[in-house]
A and B are shown apart, each in its own frame.
Chain A
């Protein structure tokens, strides 16, 4: 069945105050948090007043790889502290328990990257803290650092990790690749590279740790309050119940506040544990750009074998991601990169080798898409290059290879989704006039158009939701016909405060404003898992829907009646975690972007003249919110593909101010014309699937292909800078 296609109410505006739920859930409502935020009433972490607040700042490594010989400290005046690993209680440990726990809370005796935490300096007066910090002298003995993939693979200076610098390695295989290559009549190869990307959430990282009711409370701008609770508890060696984490309204995150706040929270907690006073660790922008995790750089080689009829019969992929000095979540990022490695195609014989390497760079970590954008960029560019090599139309060639429902995936399972890519292509073709522009621009010296097809697995990889997360949600009937919603997933701009309320309200027959859903507090809400992996609506939202049904059934028992729902993996899905075999994701979001550009042969600058996006996210819980996700995700991805250059030189990011690390302004790109098609998913609330990361995936390859067509030279790397274009045209 072809899903209904909804155009968004772009022209008029909505006047929905007090809209009752019950109608089609996608009809937009006014976001619950809009007014308070717009008028500046909403408090973010830096806006709270704490009595007797102390300010902390990190003493950081200035060397990429070195032994610490000595730390010379001035005398600290009363009330000023130097906190380091020796302040960790004996029951605790100097590790940050993230997905792996190799990242140290404080560096001791050696440092592995520039910016690594050595100590916290804190006290009541910021200037004095700064002066003390400036008077500390660390004596290092330099070692030979490794920065690049080549450095890592050749173990330059000795292995940074293990004995070979490989954090993790996987081999995925479907069919018989070696045999198939023997039958190939043509082979095309390409090497694709992507760079670091800074999240640049507008609110910098910030946490305040306080000593309240004889225990540590962390107030955090964060995606995952329970992650912080766990890591702090492990570091201090106390039961998790002894730590309380309260999320404060979060001014953007994009993955940057998934694990990284743990890197601040753990030394902060050690400090609070010692001084028993509230301590703020709020980064300023320079500190944030210089010393927070970035998106993993990647280097992906793809070799494709074709038969006489130009069908792909074999594909061999080698994927490398740079995890930096500590592993943290790198292995999972690598998994996603390779699980999305052959994109939306049915390749009968395919093999992907994936390796995550260690270097002396700032540890890379979660960023919207979590590896998928890297894998998808490579495969989409490669498909375009193969088509070009064969003299075929790039989109025709790709469409011919689309995966279909029940085809076999790279993890040797069936594709369960109802794949609507062909209908989606028709839609975007109609919106953007893609097919005729391809012909029209073929001989145009400056114009180009590009397209990309992607999917994005929603939720944790494989059975992670079942095996690791086991999300729980709770609801309760409150006074005055209201209902309380208790979940640990957070609002960080993506609209959860509104969409979750809509989901609950729809089941309960209430107004969405009658659902009470506060920023999560680990002492109050159950652990429904982290806010990441495009899981909040699809997974937690479904639990909320089911929980609301249960509450509805009990509603008449009176005020105070509660209901709970616990995650259950959809029936019939299988997964083998060690080998990554089986159903990699319960479902996928699907997307197509078309991007049109014009290039200036004098300055080599590229102007984007049109952006179109069609998405299958099951069902939009709110079309306006999803329009915001589409525009925001696409523009952030276009930044990644074009102007967001983040270069490493001797272990430091060269761009460390907002003036040099440039994100798109309102004038850099035109409006994103967006359309959603309905394709309800059985285990999503009202049929919704994951969406928050999908919207990032397609724009980089679509943009690069557009530029490639405009300049008439192939593009293999992003960001595509004017400097690169000039070189390509030489």
Chain B
């Protein structure tokens, strides 16, 4: 049996976190499964727990404009349903979130939880990598902002300190005309990912102005290669089209999946590259 805490507000939560380092529990949809024990017995948590899902201060989604950039700020306890329903949620994130589980689960699970769980198969993460999401981390008296690519360090691992909480996720809202999120799951709905793919890109004056390509569940963390993306910036549609085989080749060296109970490495790799190819073809026909 472990202790549990129910802070009355965020401030309280941060001080409890600093004092006792309990594990935050938001929707519980990862933790209750991870520590599941014999039905009818208590979950086998290994350290104390702090409930955070009820903290109202973090249950918001809002737009912030600063200089010329508009940012969507998703509070630390916003649920997946909140994110899916918000009109300003970028389409790839919306699709990613809606691909997670089923309504009852999304009503309870938080976006923060999906990120902090840091599963390579976390569906929102695949989209958030492509959207350059930034994680807002707080502890009593201080606050830092870290790009998601730095926040997640490995399967199930993040840089979160034992006294810190994630209080928000920031997503810069950028123009993006060709968007794709595709999840290949173990069945058509309510399924865990075999792999996922996100592509977002925009043209300016007939040339690719921005592009992000990410792959979920094909490596220890979401795969994104800014280096390979850079090679595509500035290309016109026809130029891109001519380069597709080369791009696929390049990506085939960075995608190194594994076999598990849900799929095989060969399949994951092949389909990831197929999805990339499909997206790039689609992209090359736009301008």
Contacts and interface: CB of A to CB of B under 8 A. Distances in A.
**A contacts B directly in the complex (CB < 8 Å)?**
yes
Interface of A: 55, 57, 126-127, 130, 282, 284-286, 601-605, 607, 643, 647, 654-655, 659-660, 662, 664-668, 722-723, 726-727
26 contacts: A57-B38, A126-B38, A130-B38, A284-B38, A284-B39, A603-B182, A603-B275, A604-B271, A605-B184, A607-B188, A643-B186, A647-B261, A654-B261, A655-B261, A662-B191, A665-B102, A665-B188, A665-B190, A666-B189, A667-B188, A667-B189, A668-B188, A722-B271, A723-B264, A723-B267, A726-B271
Contacts of B278: 602
Contacts of A604: 267, 271
Among A654, A662, A666, residue most surrounded by chain B Cβ atoms (within 10 Å):
A662
Contacts of B191: 662
B41 A130 contact: yes
Given A655-B261, A722-B267, A662 B186 contact: yes
A603 B42 contact: no
A83 B261 CA distance: 35
Given A130-B37, A660-B262, A602 B187 contact: no
Contacts of A668: 187-189
Contacts of A57: 38
B154 to A, nearest CB: 22
A659 B184 contact: no
A603 B189 CA distance: 15
B39 A602 contact: no
Contacts of B21: none
A665 B37 contact: no
B187 A722 contact: no
B188 A660 contact: no
B189 A665 contact: yes
A451 to B, nearest CB: 23
Given A602-B278, A603-B274, A647-B261, A664 B184 contact: no
A130 B262 CA distance: 29
A660 B261 contact: yes
A80 to B, nearest CB: 15
B243 interface: no
Interface in B28-52: 36-42
B133 to A, nearest CB: 26
Given A127-B41, A603-B182, A668-B188, 8 more contacts: A57-B38, A126-B41, A601-B274, A607-B188, A660-B186, A723-B263, A726-B267, A727-B266
Among B188, B262, B270, B275, residue most surrounded by chain A Cβ atoms (within 10 Å):
B188
Contacts of B40: 55, 126, 284
A668 B192 CA distance: 14
Contacts of B186: 643, 660, 662
B261 A603 contact: no
The A interface, classified by DSSP as helix, strand, loop or mixed, is loop
Contacts of A55: 40
A285 B38 CA distance: 9
Given A284-B38, A726-B266, A664 B187 contact: yes
Contacts of B192: 659-660
Contacts of A662: 186-187, 191
A601 B271 CA distance: 9
A57 B38 CA distance: 10
Contact of A602 (B37, B42, B263, B271): B271
Contacts of A660: 186, 192, 261-262
A412 B184 CA distance: 50
Nearest to A601: B274
A176 B202 CA distance: 72
A257 B271 CA distance: 40
Interface string B188-200: 1111100000000
Interface string B165-198: 0000000000000000010101111111000000
A284 B36 CA distance: 11
Nearest to A284: B39
For the complex of A and B, list the 9 residue pairs with the smallest distance between their C-beta atoms, beginning with the closest.
A284-B39, A667-B189, A654-B261, A723-B267, A602-B274, A668-B188, A662-B187, A662-B186, A665-B189
Nearest to A282: B39
A64 to B, nearest CB: 18
Contacts of B102: 665
B280 to A, nearest CB: 12
Contacts of B261: 647, 654-655, 660
Interface string B123-144: 0000000000000000000000
Contact of B184 (A643, A666, A722): A722
Nearest to A722: B267
A722 B195 CA distance: 13
B41 A603 contact: no
Interface in B240-285: 261-264, 266-267, 270-271, 274-275, 278
A444 to B, nearest CB: 19
A594 to B, nearest CB: 20
B187 A665 contact: yes
Contact of B271 (A130, A603, A654): A603
B266 to A, nearest CB: 7
A471 B40 CA distance: 40
A282 B102 CA distance: 27
B187 A643 contact: yes
Contacts of B187: 643, 662, 664-665, 668
A660 B261 CA distance: 7
A251 B42 CA distance: 25
A659 B190 CA distance: 9
Nearest to B39: A284
Nearest to A649: B261
B29 to A, nearest CB: 11
A603 B184 CA distance: 7
B251 to A, nearest CB: 15
A467 B220 CA distance: 61
Nearest to A644: B187
Interface in B13-72: 36-42
A214 B190 CA distance: 49
Nearest to A55: B40
Nearest to A280: B40
Contacts of B189: 665-668
A377 to B, nearest CB: 21
A607 B40 CA distance: 39
A284 B270 CA distance: 37
Contacts of A727: 266
Contacts of B182: 603
Interface string B215-242: 0000000000000000000000000000
A537 B262 CA distance: 40
A282 B263 CA distance: 31
B60 to A, nearest CB: 31
A647 B261 CA distance: 8
Contacts of B39: 282, 284-285
A726 B195 CA distance: 15
Contacts of A659: 192
Contacts of A284: 38-40
Nearest to A656: B261
Contacts of A665: 102, 187-190
Contacts of B266: 723, 726-727
A641 B264 CA distance: 19
Contacts of A607: 188
A604 B271 CA distance: 8
B102 to A, nearest CB: 8
A127 B271 contact: no
A603 B197 CA distance: 11
Nearest to A669: B188
Contacts of A655: 261
A538 B37 CA distance: 44
